[in-house]
Structures are given as C-alpha cells and as structure tokens.
Structure 1
Amino acid sequence: MEADLPTVNVRLWHADAVVLFDWLMSTDLDSIPITHPAQKQALADLLSRLEHASDVDIASSTSEEIAAAQNEVARDMGW
C-alpha cells in the first residue's frame, strides 16, 4: 500500500488476529465466494498486514498458541 493512500487503524483482540491470520494462511482465497475482485484483494491485504504487524509477531504463533486463541475467541460466541 502506498504511503499517500488514506488508511484506517483497526484494533483487534490478539486472539482474533491470531485466528484470522491462521485462517487466511490456510484458505485458498480463490475458493472464497466474492462479488467483486476487490474483496479478495482486501483479504490478501489484511493477511499481509497481520503477517507484518510490528507490535506482535502473529506470524510465528505456534500450533498451541493458535489453538488457545481459537478457544478464547469461541468461548463466548453465544451461537
């Protein structure tokens, strides 16, 4: 993304970021139903941002950390 483009800061719970990163890394973006090519690009951009997040090294999460994050996120889903 170019530096002169407008950006939005989104704060994620660490466990959500780990779960999203793990899912995006294991998902074939070509198989996700989309209505516009920009949707797939936005998911790829999200993956890249999570992979290169400077404050937390999400990309090096272990399988145990991923499982713990999945349990945390799913704990109080209510559905």
Structure 2
Amino acid sequence: MRTYPTVEIALWTEDAIVLMDWLETVDFDEVPSEHKAVKQALTDLASRLEEVVPYESPMTPERVATAQEAVSRGMGR
C-alpha cells in the first residue's frame, strides 16, 4: 500500500462538528470547483472527521445545533 505525506490540522471541536454535519449532507457534485480533485479531497476530509469526531463528541441533532450556535456567535446572526 502506498503512503502519502500528511499534515495535521487542529480544529476547534465545534468547527469539526459543523463541518462534519455539512459534509454528510452536501452533494459534492454541486460544490463549485475547478478540478475533480476537490471532490475527492472533501470526501477524504469527511471520512477522517467521521473517524474522529464521534469519539470526541456524540453527533446528536442537539449537539450539532449547539456547535452551530457556538461557531456562528459573533457573526452577526
């Protein structure tokens, strides 16, 4: 199996929950991009978040709503 170089990104848990929720519902074919690799990168990100986020915080509708509120705080909403 071929391995590739990796990077580590530290995300605020709330951001990770919001991103994971969005990535689970978005149609990647509808996301504007100039290259098909963007779809694959988003798929890879979703897979990685699915491996990590539920262990950090259960993905209940209430938890997602709390995370969305926390992330959007200060955005004028």
* Superposed pair shares fold, TM > 0.5: yes
Instruction: Could you tell me which runs of 5 or more consecutive residues in structure 1 were left unpaired when the two chains were aligned.
Output: none
TM-score normalised by structure 2 residue count: 0.87
Aligned length: 77
- Give TM-score scaled by structure 1 length: 0.85
Give runs of ≥4 in structure 1 deviating > 6 Å: none
CA RMSD of aligned residues (A): 2.3
Aligned residues of 1:21 and 1:59 also touching (Cα < 8 A): no
User: Deviations 1:19-69 (Å, cap 9, x if unpaired)?
Assistant: 00000001111111110011111000000000011x752684100000000
Q: 1:61 aligns with which of 50, 55, 59?
A: 59
What fraction of aligned residue pairs are identical, expressed as a percent?
A: 47
Q: Identify unmatched segments of 5+ residues in structure 2.
A: none
